[in-house]
Each structure stands twice: as structure tokens, then as C-alpha cells.
Structure 1
Amino acid sequence: MASNAPVSGSGLYADPREDWLALRKEEIIDPQRPIVDPHHHLWDRGGQRYMIEEMAADIASGHNIVATVYVDCRSMYRAHGPEAFRPVGEVEFANGVAAMSASGGYGPAAICAGIVSHVNLLLGEDARAVLEAEITAGNGRFRGIRHSSAWDADPNVAGMYATRPKGLLLDETFRKGFACLAPLNLSFDAWLFHPQIGELADLARAFPDTKIVLDHCGGPIGLGGYANRRDEIFAEWKASTRDIAKCRNVVVKLGGLAMRLLGYDFHEHPKPPSSEEAAAAWRPYIETCIEAFGPERCMFESNFPPDKGQCSYQVIFNAFKRIAAQYSEAEKTALFSKTATDFYRLRPA
């Protein structure tokens, strides 16, 4: 059995602890509502395993998950061959998981119905050949890439991203690679920290025909030098969020808020948070995003397993459902399934 001591492999999130999470069980709110989970990872490394079996078990805990989207996490890159093409292995892996899911042996949800992997856009125009290889490997499921631009001068924030280049989204060569996406009908997942939202807005305005999703509510920070400044940081994040929402080619994923990055210490409590507690903490961020983007450009995400360090699959979607209770039926449908289905062009079951 895993230890109850809170730990963090990345610094930005706490490692999941099944025994601790089991201390909180909840009845499922609105259990019949179809949900597309548009952001999760799968990996088996560093003593952590989160593969189709673990994902299927979380899904089976009660919410009506109909489909999921796998997102880049450097899993199963090829060990050999040209460096630029090694991420193709991740697409092959995720497509294999999708085939396993399609057998029906892991529950009714279409796991990895959409696949987002990685291509190094600093390849410039040469990125196109890698993108085409990933399209082939995806067998009709590949939808786009994520090239993380997360960077901060504070090493306590940057964590494993400390060596990433500053200003990546503004780089001329990166943008030549980025220009390869739209002609191939591919989207871009943007993972960054909130001080970088303005750089993404600049990129979005330069490429208005490229579909972009802002991951994890734009990565608001509450660690390191940003700690104990929540009201001030919230105001800065809110202004940046409202600005980028003016870019009609950008949508936002509502989640990633159960990482340590936000500055909450739920993972250090004797018991996991209830959905009421989680909803109270996350509501200002999620409501700000929905107000800025509109429900038709917002989608709830699990961000599992990183967010599993602070709450269970039951609790995270119950919290989302509590926050969404004020919205109309059509708006709830957008938030929980339609926006994700449309953005990632998922096929109905």
C-alpha cells in the first residue's frame, strides 16, 4: 500500500495515493450526464503507473464518461531512430490504448478517442514531416500537438521546466513550425504559466486560423514567489484571461487546479477535500473563464493523474458539476461534452 506521506515527483503536483483518496467517497451528482474528458495522461515510469487499467478504474467510479482525449506527456517515445521522430512512438502507444478500449474490455468509454502528442516546433518547416508521420500513426485519432512553453524565472515554480527556453511562443523558428499545423487541420494545446498568457495571445493573433486550447485555466501560480499573493495574482491572471478570450480561435480547459501549482495544500490534509471544498477553491477561476470565453469555448478536464494528487475522479467531476449548476442545460452540455467533442472532432460512438 502506498504511503500516506504527501510527495511530489515534479514539484508542481502531488503524487496520487490511493489509500488516502479512499478516505473520501461521494455520491455522484447528475450521474447520467455524458462527459468527454478532454485531458488526461497515461504513463508507467519513475515508480508511477497510470495506464488504461487505472484510467478505467477511475472512470468506473461513477461519472458517465463517454470518451477521453490523451494529451502529450512524453510517454513511450521511441528509443531509437531520428530524434525528431521519437514522439511518434507516443501516438502509436495512445492509438494502441484506444484499440484496447474499443474492444469493450475496459468499460464503455472510448478512451483515447482523440490523441494529442508532441512535435518539436523548433524544427521549423521540418516539423511538417513529423506531423504527417503522427497523423499516419494515429489511425484517424490524432488531433494535434502540445509543445510546452511553461517557463518561470523562479525555480520553485518552474520545477522540471526550469531548462525550457524563455519566450518560446515568440520565437521565429517555433512559429515556422507552428505554421504547419493549420494546413494539416491540427490544433495546438498550450501549457504555460499565467504570466505567459500574453505571449500566447500574440501567437493566437498571428495565426487566427489555427485552433488553440489554453490548458489548465492558463496555469495560475500560487507557489514560490507567487505564494501569499492570491488576490494580486488573481487580478493579473483575470486580466490576461479576458484578453486572450478575445481571440476567437482559442478555447480553454477548465481544470488543472488540483495541482500544487495553484498553491492549495489539499494533499497535506488528513483527508482529501470534499467536492464542496474543491468547488469553493476553484470557483473563482472557473467562473472567470466561463464568463470570458463563454461555455461554448470551455471544457472541463480531469488532468489525471496530476490532479489525482489532491482529489479523486469522483470528487473532481462532482466539484465541476457543483460549479456548473447555475448554467442552462445547453451550457452544461457544452462544458461537459460538446466543446471537447467539437474541438477535437471526436466521432460519436
Structure 2
Amino acid sequence: MKPPEPFIDAHHHFWDLGRNPYPWLQDPEPIPFRYGDYSKLKRNYLPADLARDTEGFALAKTVHIEAEWERANPVDETRWLSGLAAATGRPSACVAHAALDGADVEDVLAQQAAFALVRGIRHKPVTAHAHADARRGLPGSMDDERWRRGYAMLARHGLSFDLQAPWWNLDQASDLARDFPGTQMIVNHTGLPSDRSPEGLAAWRAALEQLALRPNVALKISGLGQCGQAWKEDANVPVIRDAIAIFGAGRCMFASNFPVDSLVAGYETLLSGFLAAIADRPDAERRQLLHDNAQRIYRL
């Protein structure tokens, strides 16, 4: 199934492992990963690869999200991406990295914001591995005053913030969005609804409902794969529909998380599943979800 109009991929990654440093992809010891074995990602993924994976689809623009480049020099990733975009036309924009609780955060943010390609920042805060372990006030979390001082600097540079956190830590995100209403927050990967039990999904929905009360928060529909399982519409279309119902068609957007989500599905499977989830919506809302929201929120 192909989209009836151009769409924007609001979350993808590029990497060149022969030229650039990505410890999680290059070190011998793998890191804990929510999809399990990720050895198939240890290959270059560049604009030509994305073009191959989206052949036949009307991919209009793309947003690159920082790919955990070696953390000592995050500006180098943005510099490399800017050259890639100049040479190939991809990505259309990027979300860069800066350690918000780092001693050099003010300087790093200024350098990142100076690139025309940059729209926002992603810095994964400290979160819990499971709902039962969720605690407030931990160092490096969204409650941490030092981390929040870095977050407060985003507004002066006109930068948005991409948040990757599981739903059981989204109460912190709600407080953060309330306290910094001038900063656009974009939640990654649908709030990570990994527990698909009725109780787990009910708790995920409740967390999203609280966060959706903040008008400066948007949601990317992505990252819905489950460890050891192929991506199936019957498992994921209801989750997509719930997420859109909670946040509204004006604040959600399609994203592939490629090539990471290639571990669980082909690009066509992800896009077709999203299209199936929004098939009964009016054309204007479909355009918002596929294209216009990402265009507006990432200022494309």
C-alpha cells in the first residue's frame, strides 16, 4: 500500500561505520537493547540505503535523529550530516545531541544551533528499566535540577527537544513540559508501550493522557516493535489508533526509526500499518499525520 500523498519520515538515522565513531555499533560488547540482538545494524546506512528502502513511496522530507555518535564530540555528527545533506539532499533536518547536564552544555548548544540543519536536541535522560523501578528525583533524570538548567537553555536557541523515555517516566515529562511551556517537546517511539498486557496498555494510555494535557508536546508514532516478534498490524494498529485518539491528529506524526526498526519489519510494513491505522480518518487529518505536522513541528 502506498500513501496517496507525500509523507515525511520524522525519525530515522544514518551512519558510516568506516568513517565515524558509534561505540554501540562498533564495540565488541553489545549494549542492552530493547529489540535484543542488533548485530544486523552493524553496517553502513546512508541516503542511498534509505532511498532503496523507500523506493516507490512518496518520501518528501526526512528528519535525522542523533544516532549515539561518540559522546565526547557530538557536534562532529552534525557537521558530517550537514555535508551529507549538501551532497545528497538527505536529511532535510536533524535533531542533534547535547548532554544537558554537561559542564559544556552552553557551548555545545550554541555550536549545534549554528548549523542550519539543526531543529532540536535529544539527550536521553535517566529512566527506569521497568515500571516497578520508576523513581522521581534521580540524578540525570528529568527531575534533576542540573539537567533542567540545560533544558532551560533550549528556548534561547529556538530548539525543540526529542524525548526518549518509557511511559512510566512520562510523569516527569509532563512536569517538564509544564515548567517550560515555550519549548516544543516531541516524544519518541509512541512512549514505548512495551508491555502489551491489558494492564500495561491501560497504564500506558493513562500516562499519555496526562502528558497530552500539555499543548507543547507532540508524539511520534514509531518504535512499536517487540523483541523477538515480527511487526504485525493486529498488534500495533490498535496502539497507533489509541495514541492518535489521545494526542489528536494535530500532534502526531509518522516515523520509521529506520534502520533500527528494520530488525522487526520492512519499511513497507511500517508505513502500510500506519496507513491502515488512519484509513478511516478524513483526508485533511491523514495529511496532518503523514506530512503537515512534521513539516510544522520540525520547521521544514
Could you say which TM-score interval applies, normalised by the shorter chain?
Answer: 0.7 to 0.9
The reply on whether 1:48 has 2:43 as its aligned counterpart is yes
Alpha-carbon distance in structure 2 between the residues aligned to 1:298 and 1:187: 15
Q: What SS does structure 2 have at the residue aligned with 1:49?
A: coil
The correspondence of residues 107-126 of structure 1 with structure 2, limited to 5 A, is: 111-123=90-102, 126=104
The correspondence of residues 17-166 of structure 1 with structure 2, limited to 5 A, is: 28-30=1-3, 32-43=4-15, 44=17, 45-46=25-26, 47-60=42-55, 62-75=56-69, 77=70, 83=72, 86-102=73-89, 111-123=90-102, 126-136=104-114, 138=115, 140-149=116-125, 151-153=127-129
* More moved, 284-293 vs 328-337: 284-293
Q: Deviations over 1:103-127 (max 9, x none)?
A: xxxxxxxx21111011000036x42
Q: What SS does structure 1 have at the residue aligned with 2:142?
A: helix
* More moved, 40-49 vs 229-238: 40-49
The reply on whether 1:301 has 2:255 as its aligned counterpart is yes
The reply on whether 1:231 has 2:160 as its aligned counterpart is no
Alpha-carbon distance in structure 2 between the residues aligned to 1:101 and 1:342: 23
Match of 2:163 among 190, 195, 204: 190
- TM-score, normalised via structure 1 length: 0.74
Alpha-carbon distance in structure 1 between the residues aligned to 2:249 and 2:61: 19
Counterpart in 2 of 1:258? 225
The correspondence of residues 152-301 of structure 1 with structure 2, limited to 5 A, is: 152-153=128-129, 168-222=141-195, 230-260=197-227, 265-266=229-230, 278-301=232-255
Q: What SS does structure 2 have at the residue aligned with 1:170?
A: coil
- Post-superposition shift, 1:166? 6.1
Q: Is the 8 A contact 1:36 1:65 kept in 2?
A: yes
Q: Is the 8 A contact 1:150 1:193 kept in 2?
A: no
Count of residues in correspondence between the two structures: 272
Q: Deviations over 1:276-325 (max 9, x none)?
A: xx222112221111111111100010011111111111111011111110
Q: Deviations over 1:7-51 (max 9, x none)?
A: xxxxxxxxxxxxxxxxxxxxx333x41110010011234333212
Alpha-carbon distance in structure 2 between the residues aligned to 1:198 and 1:48: 37
Alpha-carbon distance in structure 2 between the residues aligned to 1:56 and 1:259: 25
- TM-score, normalised via structure 2 length: 0.85
- Post-superposition shift, 1:152? 2.4
- Post-superposition shift, 1:182? 1.0
Larger radius of gyration: 1
- Post-superposition shift, 1:197? 0.9
| Percent sequence identity over aligned pairs | 32
What RMSD over aligned residues (CA atoms) do the two structures have, in Å?
2.0
Q: Deviations over 1:146-192 (max 9, x none)?
A: 011263245xx9xxxxxxx6661000000000000011110000001
Counterpart in 2 of 1:344? 298
Q: Is the 8 A contact 1:258 1:308 kept in 2?
A: no
Q: Deviation above 3 Å: which 4+ runs of structure 1?
A: none
Q: Is the 8 A contact 1:167 1:199 kept in 2?
A: no
Amino acid paired to 2:106:
R
Q: Is the 8 A contact 1:290 1:298 kept in 2?
A: yes
Alpha-carbon distance in structure 2 between the residues aligned to 1:186 and 1:167: 20
**Structure 1 residue runs without a partner (length 5+):** 1-27, 103-110, 158-164, 223-228, 267-272
**Structure 2 residue runs without a partner (length 5+):** 18-24, 27-41
Alpha-carbon distance in structure 1 between the residues aligned to 2:286 and 2:129: 38
Q: 1:34 to 1:153 in 2, by over 3 A?
A: closer
